[in-house]
Amino acid sequence: MRRLLVLILIVSCGAISACKTNPATGRSQLILISADKVSAMGAAAKPELVEQYGGEVESETLRAFVTRVGRRVAAQVEPEYAHIKWEFIVLDSEILNAFALPGGHVFVSRGLLAKFDNEAQVAGVLGHEIGHVTARHVDERLSQVVAAEFAVGGVGRGTDSQLAVLAARMISQGTLLKFNRDQEQEADGLGVKYMTRAKYDPHGMLEVLEVLAEASEGSGKLEILSTHPDPKRRIKTVRGLLAGEYAYTQGDPKYKKQVRRFARDAAPHLGQ
Ligand SMILES: [Zn+2]
């Protein structure tokens, strides 16, 4: 009976206190764990993830470059998220990947950056990851698993250590940071919004997806496609945004790609 109740809760996010309207997406979502708790789990998971991907890059110049771009984009999030202390980490790995943990830890691999040739692409990939955080996709996923594992009545009292164990298990199984197609589209839409507000040319987002689609044809180290699926469908959606809602940015010199800045501050530091 309790299980059935839980299922009903997940399926119908109606007039239930655990369902909250997200300020970034305007969508109602099931959130059973407080933002503080989920942030603490993100912070706890960070060191292991960094180690798993070969640590951070050594180049101070490259780290500072990515942090600058990330902060510019993150400054554009909804006021409800103004308290987040964003952190941008460049992983010293050839694997093409980017992901974010709740609490605002955003990761991008050196291998992915090496596929780029302008700063708007970096803003695009970081904006997408920032979008996963503001859309609270990890919180949502954890809440669904928690609802299925524990009875809803117990979750409010559910101990932090139980939740931490669950989150750690999902991270090691690689399931916590895997998103569905709708979540990917949401993160793309938010990324385009934030990067545009930061005066980057949102065409950079399309270029990121084209890089991923092209790489998916080969047999490269493409972990990013298992966590962020379906680049071809996403390309279509982003093209639609550029031709519609964001058409005003195309050809307007206020929205920049920053090719020279990328060539100066990032490109020389992307080799092994
Ligand atoms: Zn994604």
For 26: left if phi > 0, alpha if psi spans -120 to 50, otherwise beta; the answer is left
137 CA to centre of ligand 1 in angstroms: 9
- For the entire predicted model, the pTM comes to 0.89
Render pLDDT for 90-110 as a digit per residue (tens, 0 to 9): 999 998 899 999 899 999 999
Give exposure, 245-268, as e/b (b: 16+ Cβ within 10 Å): ebeebeeeeebbbbeebbeebbbe
What pLDDT is stored for residue 150 in this prediction? 65
Q: How far away, in angstroms, is 125 Cα from ligand 1 center?
A: 9
246 in a structural domain: yes
Q: Which of 51, 78, 94, 129 is catalytic?
A: 129
Planar angle of CA 85, 102, 203, nearest 5 degrees: 80
CA of 153 to the centre of ligand 1 (A): 31
How many domains does the chain fold into?
A: 1
Mean pLDDT by 10 residues, the chain (272 residues): 52 63 94 86 87 94 98 98 97 92 94 97 98 94 78 54 73 77 93 98 97 78 65 92 97 97 96 78
Instruction: Give the pLDDT score at 91.
Output: 97
Q: Burial-class residue 56 by CB neighbours within 10 Å (0-12, 13-18, 19+).
A: middle
pLDDT tens-digit map of 108-136? 999 999 999 999 999 999 999 999 999 99
Whether 129 is catalytic is yes
Range of the domain at 9: 2-267
114-120-124-125 Cα dihedral, nearest 10 degrees: 20
Cα 131 to ligand 1 centre (Å): 8
What was the pLDDT predicted at 148?
A: 74
- Asked if residue 272 belongs to a domain, the reply is no
